[in-house]
Chains A and B, each alone.
Chain A
Amino acid sequence: MSKQYLTVHTVDQAHPTEIFSLAPTPTAVFSASGSSALRIHSTTEPTFPVQQILEAAHKLGCHHVCTARGGLGVVAVSVGFGGEIKIWRKGGEDDTAAKEWALSYEIPPTKSSGGDVWAVALSADESYLACTTSDGRSHVWDLVARERIQTYETGGNGGNGGSFAMAVDLSRDGKLTATGHESGAVYVFNNDAGRMVYSLSGLVKPVRAVAFSPGCKRLAAAGNAGIIAIYDMQHGEHVSNLSASSNRPAWITSIDWNDTGEYLLSGSLDGKVKVWDVARGVCVATHSETEGALWSVRWLPKSERALAPGMGKGEMFCAAGAAKSLTFYREATGI
């Protein structure tokens, strides 16, 4: 059985330069690009209008922005090319009327110690942040206490630094942290015990994306190999691979599970966004609107409201990259 997705809307020239990262909340999507401003587009209106622009957020541009999967959607974290981390909050603590995003605080580059900060992930309760560094470390920050509570080393001996940690994710139950490395390694850490539980093999090439399934039972990892490796989190086993048949599959830059954990979304440098049926191990839809690289693909959290009259409420996802535009897709159900 195939799935059908259709383009709902494209926000052209959403940013002046290419878009590197997307992060959805229940009602909006953050986008980060090579220019200094972060943009927030509403996902509750058919034209996806700009809701807010966070000007001059990152002087050198921003490579990662994240929100919590399954969270309330009141915290967002962004990382700039200069190595600074910014924590954004929506509205006041108990204020329901004013729903503007504002800078909560910043973690300057010097405080993060070691290599420069790269990927970030937020816990579902929006109070912990995992971030990776170019020398292979991962730090966990308590965002409420504003302090670093954990550092995971992967450098091996001698402290000469490990392989660049290009991707990170936190499981929704908060128990596990996974990092994907340039060496092809994928490490899983137990946050309660504060130690590594699995060192997963299977991808020899750089890993650019890791993602826990919503039920925290599976971990998906992908990167330059052009395939998605699925690991079981109970025993740390390599369960399966999702791959297309092409001889030289393009590098995968971004992956994301849908809310039910049935489907995986992937975006790659050749501009293709694919939807994979995880259980059957097959690709069920491919879209390629642009020739340009895709840097980020994200499912939007399921909403009960229909986007517009007569449009249904199928699952939606968003893709962005070198084309500088945001493209929204919706599952074509009931047509």
Chain B
Amino acid sequence: MPAHSHLLLEALFRILELVHEALLSGNLITKRFDIVWCLISQMIMHNTLEDQADFVAHRNIYYQNIELFKSQSMVDNMVDNLALTLGVGRGDLNIVATAKGLIAGSVDLKMRNGSITRCGLSRDNGMLLPSINSVEAIDLHSAKWLLVIEKEATFRTLAASRFHSTCKTGHGVLITAKGFPDLATRRFLHVLHSVRPQLEFFGLVDFDPHGISILRTYTKGSRRLEHEQGITVPRMRWLGIRSGDVLPYTPNVDSTTETFQDSQSSDSQASQTISSQESASYSFAGGQYFCLEQSCEFDNEGRPPKRARVHEPDSSDSSGSIILLTSSDRRRAVNLMKELRNTLETTDGSDADQMYELQRMMMLNIKAEIQAVDAFGDVTGWLDERLCTHFSA
């Protein structure tokens, strides 16, 4: 520890130095190329939050001091701790990160500089979310729903197919924060959330502990940024995906692996298969009492005698989208469950729902990505269906 702590101190002083310099000059600091921080001393001193957003000079804390900071997360932590220590949010300090989020759909943003951005016009890839501070007004038109997608790739596919306007339930908005949500995206969502209470918010995340914690970050906020205000979207509902969407016996699984055979074992009994008992077995009424007739024929004929037993590798289940949990996934799941357990009594059913899916995940020891809902990774059909169910309910 002692050998390490002088590095930590050095890093902290370096940040303070850069921040101080920036505060005095009103410069922008970036943690990295895609996150721009503007720190303005006068904000704290004189509480003048007026448009000082024109200042420039990009700094790059992390890339200028890679040796010292070791990792980006170290910078993030320190800056957040600093904000926490001062008892204010990043926003109050006017530390603004430019969003890494993307948006597509029937939204017009009227910017403070007078320009109007139409998010529905962007041809395919969606457009980068502007900082909410630079937005003056938001026009949601007839949007009925807003879908937050964990994965950028899924977002891009949906945006390219113009799902936001072709969806059967009506127009909507697509947003992604490309994985774990950043503050700017969450703040943007929070504003939309308060602007249009009747807008339905949905979250579409992977079926894994990470996906559920992303969902919880949107609805409840993250522990690390508890001191931030106005960044949660409590009404967001969990659209998917869940265990039921990906389990291999569900009908949406491709049937390419019909090569399943019973054992080629020399034991003659083993090579007998019962056919058609499934349909025959329901002949007894009432479902309470039936017997399975043994009349089922054994279809030994018509099958090559020494056909090797073919087991498809496990990855073939559901078009290769079911993945095994790693030990760190399991640890993360247990930690999430502990967190959920503590809040379970005090909150609505959504926590219980998440607990239940985490338990299933642990029992099955599988996870799956969003595109697992369809054999070809096309989620639009599934999404249409889910959104319809929500709106008709």
Residues of A within 8 A of B (CB): 1-7, 17-18, 20, 34, 59-61, 63, 81-83, 115-116, 134-135, 161, 164, 166, 182, 202-206, 224-227, 229, 238-241, 243-251, 269-270, 279-287, 289, 293, 295, 332
Contacts and interface: CB of A to CB of B under 8 A. Distances in A.
Contacts of A246: 278
Contacts, number: 153
B257 A247 contact: yes
Interface stretch (B134-142, B208-216, B262-270): B262-270
Interface stretch (B36-44, B72-80, B229-237, B289-297): B289-297
A159 to B, nearest CB: 14
A182 B365 contact: yes
Max count, chain B CB within 10 A of own CB: residue among A115, A225, A251, A282: A282
Nearest to A225: B311
Contacts of A20: 359, 363
Nearest to A281: B269
25 contacts: A3-B291, A20-B359, A20-B363, A34-B355, A34-B356, A81-B359, A82-B334, A115-B327, A116-B330, A224-B314, A227-B262, A238-B265, A239-B265, A240-B270, A241-B263, A241-B270, A241-B309, A244-B277, A245-B273, A245-B277, A248-B258, A281-B270, A289-B287, A295-B363, A332-B291
B316 to A, nearest CB: 10
Given A164-B365, A227-B262, A249-B260, 7 more contacts: A61-B359, A116-B331, A240-B270, A248-B253, A269-B247, A283-B277, A332-B291
Contacts of B355: 34, 61
Contact of B277 (A4, A226, A281, A286): A286
A1 B248 CA distance: 32
B313 interface: yes
A34 to B, nearest CB: 5
- Give the size category of B's interface with A: 35 or more
B258 A247 contact: yes
B390 interface: no
Contacts of B70: none
Contacts of A251: 248-249
| 7 tightest A-B CB contacts, nearest first | A240-B270, A281-B269, A241-B263, A204-B311, A4-B291, A250-B249, A245-B275
Given A241-B263, A283-B277, A2 B258 contact: no
Given A83-B334, A182-B365, A204 B359 contact: no
A248 B337 contact: no
Given A204-B311, A243-B262, A244-B274, A7 B269 contact: no
Contacts of A245: 273-277, 299
B255 interface: yes
Given A116-B330, A135-B327, A250-B249, A240 B267 contact: yes
Contacts of A279: 269
B362 interface: yes
A248 B258 CA distance: 7
Nearest to B291: A4
Interface string B293-314: 1100001000000000101011
A2 B288 contact: no
Nearest to A166: B365
B338 interface: yes
Contact of B330 (A134, A282, A283): A134
A60 B341 contact: yes
Given A248-B255, A251-B248, A182 B278 contact: no
A250 to B, nearest CB: 4
B324 interface: yes
A335 B277 CA distance: 23
Contacts of B290: 287
A176 B26 CA distance: 73
A262 B292 CA distance: 18
A222 B299 CA distance: 23
B314 A206 contact: yes
Contact of A285 (B269, B291, B338): B291
Interface string B329-368: 0110010011001000000000010011001101101000
A134 B327 CA distance: 7
Contacts of A225: 311
B47 interface: no
A224 B362 contact: no
B317 interface: yes
A18 B287 contact: no
Q: Considering residues A226, A239, A241, A332, which has the most beta carbons from chain B within 10 angstroms of its beta carbon?
A: A241
Contact of B292 (A135, A249, A270, A283): A283
A294 B263 CA distance: 25
Nearest to B254: A248
B98 to A, nearest CB: 39
Interface string B242-260: 0000011100010101101
